């Protein structure tokens, strides 16, 4: 057979090959079954590229228009689910290029002028991530808003504060909810920050070193809404830290949500009985008719595992790679999509769970008013009367041990009994050991006193309102009307 007759069937890179690809390698290397999700971004990038090629004269105006319109037709086909993806054509990029050539004829073969799949895929993932950052950002704002609303709704309700899952000091329930709001606010900052690092347009980097053809990447960047070009072509095709950053953001966020889920699960247990999830956000048991299970929260906790795994997967893929592009990098997409999908699945559920959570305020109050929780307040009382804190701590501990022996709460001891353990104690201690007094006393910045929590809530609310206004200005900017988005 001559080279002409045995060129690898349908391969866009087939020129130097004889014989066809082993089906096992074909099966290994195909990625279209997952990277088809980049299709609309790929088309957006290709259209900008084709427009630029027309402007600089690498294509005629007619050719450039033909390509742009042909791609538009393919876009419609994809959006209506009428595009047939061919695994034999390897990936989304080659599928689209082959389909374009089939549709508009040999002009389609000019689209890849001055471009490599290496800079093409770097652009596509960047565009995908830009849209995803926007969508996840909106979902996250929703959850933060639900937390603030709930914190406002529960007013000054107390609950026990825990360290080591042991009663520590009383706190406001709102304070506990706002702790999560603060973590998520930082997550949102991390996400926004990452958005800035996505603002580099990689096209023009070619396979690794740029191109000798007279292109105008600034034109492409403007067209696609990027402010800057990638500074280094090797970095542009081989760097994946923006994806890693998103996966790290996702892993941290899911870790926060997993802790929140754990709290909800504990609160909804019979032992705690602090809260109940609404029926529509709970599940039953196939065997035990009485069960009402917090499966949603458990999955929220469980799915943190895969999202953390996605980060570790990509870190591991990238860590040993010499510069520049290596095919290993194709393994970046599934973890990326999976983290994005998981976040988009979990965040709205978490928002509903927080909004629907019903609290048993009486149980919370009784638990907050535990028999020995005023111990720190007793020590502080002594400190105010000149007792060194270490000694005060010790004396209050002796008082606790005495009360335990007498089977009494700390506040049930008489002044004489207290004085035996803590000589400097005064009568006013009894006012200081009530639940409202213990709460009000912790009025430091960020503390649990109703006044501090009210300030915290107000600041968090103002910040959130500002962020919602900012995001609204740009909403939908980067998200194509994909059936999945
Ligand atoms: N599907 C490939 C990826 O996702 C596209 C780039 C292929 N480049 C190459 N030199 N084989 O990484």
Instruction: Tell me, yes or no, whether 354 lies in a domain.
Output: yes
| Ligand 1 atom 2 nearest Cα | 330
Do both 400 and 461 map to the same domain?
no
Q: Which residues line ligand 1 (CB under 6 A)?
A: 31, 35, 91, 117-118, 121, 325, 327, 329-330
| Ligand 1 atom 12 nearest Cα | 330
The secondary structure element, H or E, covering residue 276 is strand 275-276
Instruction: Tell me, yes or no, whether 450 lies in a domain.
Output: no
Look at residues 60, 87, 110 and tell me which one is the last residue of a structural domain.
Answer: 110
Q: Label the pairing between strands 166-172 and 275-276.
A: unpaired
DSSP 198-238: T-EE-TT-TTTT--SS---HHHHHHHHT-SEE-S-HHHHHH
Nearest one of 426, 399, 428 to 413, comparing CA atoms: 399
Do both 26 and 63 map to the same domain?
yes
> 327, 329, 332, 333: which to mutate for ligand 1, most atoms within 8 A of CB?
327
Distance 460 CA to ligand 1 centre (A): 44
Q: Across the 485 residues of the chain, what is the mean pLDDT of every consecutive 10-residue run?
A: 45 80 91 98 98 98 98 98 95 98 98 98 98 96 98 97 95 98 98 94 98 98 97 98 98 98 97 92 79 90 98 98 98 98 98 97 97 95 97 97 97 96 97 97 97 98 95 81 51
Do both 60 and 139 map to the same domain?
no
Distance 365 CA to ligand 1 centre (A): 60
Do both 74 and 129 map to the same domain?
no
Look at residues 68, 95, 110 and tell me which one is the last residue of a structural domain.
Answer: 110
Q: Label the pairing between strands 275-276 and 358-359.
A: antiparallel
pTM: 0.93
| 3-state SS string for 128-143 | HHHHHHHHHHHHHHHH
Distance 330 CA to ligand 1 centre (A): 6
| Ligand 1 atom 3 nearest Cα | 330
Return the structure tokens found at 406: 């007498």
| Ligand 1 atom 11 nearest Cα | 327
Instruction: Tell me, yes or no, whether 183 lies in a domain.
Output: yes
Nearest one of 392, 365, 390 to 381, comparing CA atoms: 392
Distance 137 CA to ligand 1 centre (A): 29
Distance 314 CA to ligand 1 centre (A): 16
- Please return the burial class of 228, using the count of CB atoms within 10 Å of its CB with bins 0-12, 13-18 and 19+: exposed
Query: Of all atoms in ligand 1, which is nearest to the CA of residue 90?
Result: 1
> 25, 118, 329: which to mutate for ligand 1, most atoms within 8 A of CB?
118
Per-residue CA distances from 319 to 315, 316, 428 (Å)? 6, 5, 63
Per-residue CA distances from 394 to 161, 331, 346, 415, 464 (Å)? 22, 59, 47, 18, 44
Q: Label the pairing between strands 228-229 and 200-201.
A: parallel
- Give CA–CA dist 456/335, Å, rounded: 36
Q: Is 283 helix (H, G, I), strand (E, B) or coil?
A: strand
| Ligand 1 atom 5 nearest Cα | 117
- CA–chain centroid gap for 408, Å, is 48
CATH of the domain at 63: 1.10.275.10
Return the structure tokens found at 277: 């999830």
Look at residues 49, 78, 110 and tell me which one is the last residue of a structural domain.
Answer: 110
What are 98-107's contacts with CB under 8 Å, separation 24+?
98/10, 98/12, 99/74, 100/67, 100/70, 100/71, 100/74, 103/70, 103/73, 103/74, 104/66, 104/67, 104/69, 104/70, 107/63, 107/66, 107/67
> 121, 126, 234, 243: which to mutate for ligand 1, most atoms within 8 A of CB?
121
Instruction: Tell me, yes or no, whether 481 lies in a domain.
Output: no
CATH of the domain at 407: 1.10.40.30
DSSP 156-175: T-EEEEEETTEEEEEEEHHH
Q: Is 300 helix (H, G, I), strand (E, B) or coil?
A: helix
> 38, 45, 117, 238: which to mutate for ligand 1, most atoms within 8 A of CB?
117
Do both 130 and 276 map to the same domain?
yes
Instruction: Tell me, yes or no, whether 252 lies in a domain.
Output: yes
Question: Which residue bears the tokens 């600041």?
Answer: 459
Return the structure tokens found at 203: 């096209």
Query: Of all atoms in ligand 1, which is nearest to the CA of residue 31?
Result: 1
158, HSE (Cβ side, Cα atoms, 13 Å): 22
Nearest one of 476, 456, 459, 482 to 138, comparing CA atoms: 476
Query: Of all atoms in ligand 1, which is nearest to the CA of residue 329?
Result: 12
Query: Of all atoms in ligand 1, which is nearest to the CA of residue 325?
Result: 10
Instruction: Tell me, yes or no, whether 444 lies in a domain.
Output: no
Query: Of all atoms in ligand 1, which is nearest to the CA of residue 13?
Result: 11
Distance 377 CA to ligand 1 centre (A): 64
- Residues forming beta bridges with residue 293, ordered by sequence position: 283
Do both 228 and 300 map to the same domain?
yes
Length of the chain: 485
Question: Which residue bears the tokens 């962020």?
Answer: 467
Do both 157 and 222 map to the same domain?
yes
Query: Of all atoms in ligand 1, which is nearest to the CA of residue 91?
Result: 1
Residue-number span of the structural domain to which 80 is assigned: 14-110
Do both 72 and 121 map to the same domain?
no
Instruction: Tell me, yes or no, whether 412 lies in a domain.
Output: yes
Return the structure tokens found at 393: 């701590």
Distance 204 CA to ligand 1 centre (A): 16
Do both 160 and 51 map to the same domain?
no
Return the structure tokens found at 144: 């933060």
Catalytic residue positions?
Answer: 164, 285
Distance 361 CA to ligand 1 centre (A): 57
| Ligand 1 atom 10 nearest Cα | 118
Question: Which residue bears the tokens 């996605």?
Answer: 310
Nearest one of 79, 47, 77 to 65, comparing CA atoms: 47
Question: Which residue bears the tokens 């019979």?
Answer: 270
Neighbouring residues of 291: CB distance < 8 A, sequence distance ≥ 6: 284, 285
Q: Label the pairing between strands 158-163 and 228-229.
A: unpaired
Query: Of all atoms in ligand 1, which is nearest to the CA of residue 207?
Result: 10
Do both 263 and 281 map to the same domain?
yes
Do both 93 and 206 map to the same domain?
no
CATH of the domain at 460: 1.20.200.10
Helices 117-153, 450-474: inter-axial angle, 10-degree rounding? 140
* Domains of the chain: total: 3
- CA–chain centroid gap for 469, Å, is 20
Question: Which residue bears the tokens 């999955």?
Answer: 299
Do both 307 and 408 map to the same domain?
no
Distance 266 CA to ligand 1 centre (A): 47
Instruction: Tell me, yes or no, whether 449 lies in a domain.
Output: no
Q: Residues 10, 14, 20, 24: what is their CA dihedral angle, to the nearest 10 degrees?
A: -90
- Give CA–CA dist 223/128, Å, rounded: 16
């Amino acid at each position: 057979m001559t080279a002409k007759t045995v060129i690898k069937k349908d391969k866009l890179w087939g020129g130097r090959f004889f014989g066809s690809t082993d089906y096992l390698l074909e099966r290994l290397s195909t990625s279209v079954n997952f990277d088809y999700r980049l299709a609309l971004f790929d088309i957006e990038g290709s259209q900008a590229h084709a427009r630029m090629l027309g402007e600089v004269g690498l294509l005629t105006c007619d050719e450039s228009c033909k390509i742009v319109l042909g791609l538009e037709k393919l876009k419609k086909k994809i959006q209506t689910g009428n595009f047939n993806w061919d695994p034999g054509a390897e990936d989304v990029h080659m599928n689209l290029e082959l389909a374009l050539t089939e549709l508009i004829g040999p002009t389609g073969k000019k689209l890849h002028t001055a471009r490599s799949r290496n800079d093409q895929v770097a652009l596509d993932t960047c565009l995908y991530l830009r849209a995803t950052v926007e969508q996840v950002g909106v979902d996250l704002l929703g959850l933060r808003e639900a937390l603030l609303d709930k914190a406002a709704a529960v007013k000054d309700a107390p609950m026990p504060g825990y360290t080591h899952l042991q009663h520590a000091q009383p706190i406001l329930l709102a304070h506990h909810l706002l702790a999560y709001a603060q973590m998520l606010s930082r997550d949102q900052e991390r996400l926004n920050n990452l958005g800035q690092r996505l603002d580099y347009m990689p096209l023009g980097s070619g396979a690794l070193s740029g191109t000798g053809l007279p292109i105008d990447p600034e034109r492409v960047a403007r067209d696609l809404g990027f402010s800057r070009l990638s500074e280094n072509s090797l970095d542009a095709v081989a760097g994946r830290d923006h994806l890693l950053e998103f996966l790290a953001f996702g892993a941290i966020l899911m870790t926060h949500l997993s802790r929140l889920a754990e709290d909800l699960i504990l609160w909804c247990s019979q032992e705690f009985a602090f809260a109940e999830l609404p029926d529509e956000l709970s599940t039953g048991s196939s065997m035990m008719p009485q069960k009402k299970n917090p499966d949603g929260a458990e999955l929220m906790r469980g799915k943190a595992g895969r999202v953390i795994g996605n980060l570790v997967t990509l870190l591991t893929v990238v860590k040993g790679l010499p510069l520049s592009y290596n095919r290993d990098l194709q393994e970046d997409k599934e973890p990326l999509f999976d983290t994005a999908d998981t976040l988009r699945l979990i965040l709205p559920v978490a928002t509903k769970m927080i909004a629907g959570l019903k609290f048993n305020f009486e149980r919370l109050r009784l638990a907050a008013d535990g028999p020995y929780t005023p111990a720190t307040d007793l020590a502080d009382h002594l400190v105010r009367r000149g007792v060194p804190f270490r000694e005060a701590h010790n004396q209050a501990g002796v008082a606790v041990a005495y009360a335990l022996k007498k089977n009494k709460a700390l506040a049930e001891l008489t002044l004489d009994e207290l004085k035996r353990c803590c000589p400097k104690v005064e009568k006013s201690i009894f006012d200081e050991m009530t639940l409202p007094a213990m709460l009000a006393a912790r009025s430091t910045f960020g503390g649990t006193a109703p006044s501090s929590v009210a300030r915290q809530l107000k600041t968090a609310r103002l910040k959130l309102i500002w962020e919602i206004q900012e995001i609204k200005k740009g909403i939908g900017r980067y998200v194509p009307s994909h059936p999945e988005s």
